[in-house]
């Protein structure tokens, strides 16, 4: 056995050069990062939690983008795909999440330059530096990263990398329903009545929503898409009721804008506003949720509105309050993050 003294800078640098870049997540960003590394001749390995690529996108495969194909395809990915004989979809068309996977991400993931370097069913549970916690500084920038990776059976291994790209996404880390940012009191007692953002109410989750009173919490585009799909469901399923609950007096992010370059995005707000005006969606604004409580067949939302204690009863709650990164696995990495949205302040999020 040959031992390498990594305290020697020259040897440490050679050690980095022989290691791959680790990409966490095989979704649109992770696969695009892989394509760019292929073009630069840099080795990499992709770790994807799901059993297939783009697991998060697959959960909202029924949702149509408001951005056309020309904004959805990474240039390096396009070049690799076209070299294999792939033909791009109509650049003006708006894909669904499912179409993004089938017409772009899956063909990209199957390229010989990417497929052998992709590991599915592999969850990165922690990232650090080899032999260095976050408090140690000397030679930190020349020390390999180490990723602790768990497979579906629970077996765990450690993998060294020269750099790490976190493209794990945020869909699986929703913001809280409570206005405080903390999980609302009583959530555990009604967890089966609270669903993720962008449920497939017209498809695989139809039975859960048909004929029920659904309350969508959130003031963004995820909420708008769900409201529109629920309104379509209500036309087909008698007894289906919809409440739109927002914390503020309005929802400016989904309101129509005449100068929006993305016509479909502006149309989302206009369509929701018309449904509210027609009474097909009840809008409950300035409602700040504090706690949840079970009631027979449903859930009670308890909070404040205009300084008064208020309650709202519903069958189901859709949490469309937005998303945030899950930083648990990066606890030992030094990060420079925006103090509000927790996004990197610089292109390189990790300091030496």
pTM: 0.89
pLDDT of residue 307: 87
Cβ 287 vs Cβ 215: under 8 Å: no
Distance CA 260, CA 348 (A): 30
* pLDDT tens readout for residues 140-178: 989 999 999 999 898 999 999 999 999 999 999 999 999
pLDDT of residue 341: 85
pLDDT of residue 13: 59
Distance CA 170, CA 158 (A): 24
Q: Specify whether the backbone of 234 is left (phi greater than 0), alpha (psi in -120 to 50) or beta.
A: alpha
DSSP string, 25-37: --SHHHHHHHHHH
Candidates 341, 339, 335; CA nearest to 166 is 335
pLDDT of residue 253: 67
| Tally of residues, the chain | 352
Please identify every stretch of the chain with a pLDDT value under 50, giving residue numbers as ranges.
1-12, 349-352
* pLDDT tens readout for residues 214-239: 999 999 999 999 999 999 999 999 99
**Which domains are present in the chain?**
9-171+324-330 (3.50.50.60), 187-319 (3.50.50.60)
């Amino acid at each position: 056995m040959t031992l390498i003294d990594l305290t020697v800078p020259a040897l440490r640098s050679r050690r980095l050069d022989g290691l791959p870049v680790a990409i966490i997540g095989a979704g649109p960003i992770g696969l695009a990062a892989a394509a760019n590394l292929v073009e630069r001749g840099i080795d990499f390995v992709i770790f994807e939690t799901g059993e297939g690529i783009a697991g998060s996108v697959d959960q909202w495969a029924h949702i149509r983008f408001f951005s056309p194909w020309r904004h959805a395809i990474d240039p390096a990915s396009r070049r690799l795909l076209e070299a294999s004989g792939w033909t791009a979809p109509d650049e003006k068309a708006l894909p669904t999440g499912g179409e993004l996977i089938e017409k772009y991400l899956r063909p990209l993931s199957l390229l010989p330059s990417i497929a052998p370097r992709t590991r599915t069913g592999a969850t990165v549970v922690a990232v650090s530096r080899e032999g260095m916690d976050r408090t140690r500084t000397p030679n930190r920038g020349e020390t390999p990263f180490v990723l602790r990776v768990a497979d579906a059976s629970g077996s765990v291994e450690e993998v060294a990398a020269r750099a790490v790209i976190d493209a794990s996404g945020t869909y699986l880390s929703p913001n809280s329903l409570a206005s405080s940012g903390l999980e609302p009191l009583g959530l555990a007692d009604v967890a089966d009545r609270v669903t993720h953002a962008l449920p497939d109410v017209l498809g695989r989750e139809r039975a859960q929503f048909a004929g029920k009173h659904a309350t969508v919490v959130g003031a963004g585009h995820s909420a708008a898409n769900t409201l529109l799909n629920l309104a379509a469901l209500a036309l087909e399923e008698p007894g289906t009721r919809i409440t739109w609950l927002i914390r503020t007096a309005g929802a400016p992010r989904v309101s129509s804008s005449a100068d929006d370059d993305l016509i479909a995005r502006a149309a989302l707000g206009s369509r929701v506003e018309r449904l509210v005006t027609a009474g097909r969606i009840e809008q409950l604004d300035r409602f700040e949720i504090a706690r949840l409580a079970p009631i027979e067949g449903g859930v009670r939302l308890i909070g404040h509105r205009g300084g008064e204690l208020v309650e709202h009863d519903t069958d189901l709650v859709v949490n469309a309050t937005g998303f945030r990164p899950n930083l648990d696995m990066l606890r030992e990495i030094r990060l420079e993050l925006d103090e509000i949205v927790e996004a990197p302040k610089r292109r390189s999020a990790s300091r030496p």
